[in-house]
Structure 1
Amino acid sequence: MTSQLPSPISVSQPTCPDDDLNPTFEMRFTSTPRGARLARRLAAHRLDTWGIPYGTGPHEEIALVLGELSANAVRHGHVPSRDFHLLLHVSAPARTVRIEVTDTRTERTPPEPDALTAPDPEGTGGRGLLLVAALATRWGWHLRPGGPGKTVWAECVFATPT
């Protein structure tokens, strides 16, 4: 009998509606470091497709915020056999990208945005949400409606890519 590694993505397929003005990308990923890396790579590709090109400041900032939120979902929101959900939505008229990462762990919640504190300078962690706060226009979190878990979200306003 052979053992197969689980796929880093769930059966759920990505969605990208035909509405070019406000495109959306949505997918579930396994709550593993591999799933978080894949979420960032697929979202980075989608941003490029939507006209926020690789190598530009807005693209790099949005990808970094998304990567931090995905990594936090894996590190702090992991529940065995439960995926995390990524939603990426662009509001073209407002030039805003909204990132939502939902996990299924309710008891480990992030601090409120205005309650972030500097991490221990000797420590190796605790800087992810500070990066999110510095790069995103605004961010926050709420309990997951209809089930266990939470959604951490961030909005990034972008100018014309440079």
Structure 2
Amino acid sequence: MMKRAPVFFISHGGPTLLEDQAKPGHFYNWLGQYLKDKLKPKAIVLISAHWQGVNDNHVFVDVSEKPKLIYDFYNFPDRYYKQTWDHKGSPQIANTVISLLDKAGFKGIGEEYGNDHGVWVPLKRAMMSNLDIPIVEVSTLSHENMEMHVKLGEALSPLR
């Protein structure tokens, strides 16, 4: 029997996490090693609360081959707005996500969006040596209906 990949809920904080030497920083160091040495995922699909769909059941999915970084934070030192990260996306996996969403009654919408700081800050910190793992960002719904968001997660569970 194949073991299912774990699901993580990650609180990311601000861009200062990139330099954090306390417990949050230690967690991301551990996560990077865990991904590299144990999980070895084919891709990482993240739902970010910094990107919302439209209408009741529309969900955006980033289809970028090379996601740009979105600096959606304010009043931090200039060095955080100059961050770069040479990571990749996966249009193929993004299209699989869209199909799973559509099959579950959502409307998956592919868009070349990039990665907001809720995605790139923690993953850049964790994955400096894991650049070969594609990242696909997914939006939340446009509302805060918990039941619908649970259904969204269930729709993506075949990816595990």
TM-score of the aligned structures, taking structure 1 as reference length = 0.29
Higher RCO, 1 vs 2 (CA within 8 Å, ≥6 residues apart)? 2
- The structure richer in helix per residue is 2
